[in-house]
Amino acid sequence: MEIEKEVSMKRVFCLVVILLLLGPISHGFAQREHYEISEEEFQASTDQPLEVILKIDAGEVVVKKGMDSTVGRVEIRYTPRKFRQKIDFNEKTNRLKVHFDMKGWRSVDTDDDRAEVTVELPYGVDILFDAHVKAGEVTMDMGGLRLKEYVYTNWAGEVEVRFDEPNPITMDLLDINAKVGEATFVRLGNARFKKADINGGIGEMRVDFRGNVIDECKAKVDLDIGEATIILPRDVGVKMRIGGGFSFLSEKNIDHSFYKEGSTYYSENYEDEEGTFYVRVSPGLGELNIERE
């Protein structure tokens, strides 16, 4: 009974957070009037990594590969009565900072509010990426970018991160934290990370590790409450451990192609494939699905 009460309270908290964060902007996507546009292009240096820092309160956020190898672009469409923005590129440090803030979470909402941030990144420079989004609809297509690090925190809303093209370089760290809402991560293997740390809070999460996985990479997936699906590649040998957290309370559905020895699961091709992928999963309260495609 105590566990059920705890889960119920967390679900209520989840709903309250989503309503508080998404409510002020929910009507803003319906009509598009009385807004301003801020645009800036920047010339990134190839002598040092490009550092990208995004701090966004709310809105529709799009990050993708740009059309130029060294020139990037930022466009923000916003209602100045409700939001403030700042785009800053420092040529000496090769650092891009984008801030998009709400002036007041409790201000009166109208149907003409607009909050859209689009970032196009150059594909010919190494990138250190760090983004924090409090609420909104986020789409990131990071395929083909030279990412050394990818760090992303999303507090509430819907998020999709894709790597449809392989990263041309090896990524040192992939760190994703999705607090509340629906999160989808597609073909993370193409990020070509050495180490991945993925945390899911409350909601539904789909983590797809297919793609050009590098040998002996490691991933940790921690889950709290909700349904989670983890898709693992077939063309590498997978070693997986499931435990910790609320593992004893979670419903687990594990692909039949895995066999278990002790507390460890192995893919049927673990001994045959040259490449190996190590995964540790800490299930939460809810359903855990492990698939291979």
Cα gap 178→157, rounded to integer Å: 9
Q: Mean per-residue pLDDT for 230-259?
A: 89
Amino acid 83: pLDDT:
94
The pLDDT score that the predictor gives to residue 26 is 43
- Radius of gyration in angstroms for the set of CA atoms belonging to the chain, rounded to a whole number: 20
Cβ atoms of residues 120 and 54 within 8 Å:
no
Q: Which residues contact 62 (CB under 8 A, 6 or more apart)?
A: 116, 117, 118, 119, 138, 139, 140
Given this model, what pLDDT does residue 284 score?
Answer: 85
**HSE toward the beta carbon, residue 149, CA cutoff 13 A:** 13
234 backbone φψ class: left, alpha, beta (φ>0; ψ -120 to 50): alpha
pLDDT of residue 24: 47
SS3 11: helix
Question: What are the pLDDT digits (tens) for 139-198?
Answer: 999 999 999 999 999 999 999 999 999 999 999 999 999 999 999 999 999 999 999 999
How far CA 226 is from CA of 73, 123, 201, 204, 281, in Å, comes to 37, 36, 8, 6, 14
pTM beyond 0.85: the answer is yes
Q: Is the pLDDT of residue 28 over 80?
A: no
Q: What is the pLDDT of residue 194?
A: 98
User: Residue 32's pLDDT band (boundaries 50, 70, 90)?
Assistant: very low
Shortest CA distance to 28 belongs to which of 82, 71, 75?
A: 82
Cβ 161 vs Cβ 133: under 8 Å = no
Average pLDDT, the chain: 88
Report d(CA 119, CA 62) in Å as an integer.
6
- Strands annotated E in the chain: 36-43, 50-65, 71-78, 83-90, 95-102, 115-121, 126-141, 146-162, 171-186, 193-208, 217-232, 237-242, 251-254, 258-261, 264-267, 276-282, 285-292
Q: What is the mean pLDDT of residues 107-136?
A: 87
pLDDT band at 105 (very low <50, low <70, confident <90, very high): low
pLDDT at 86: 97
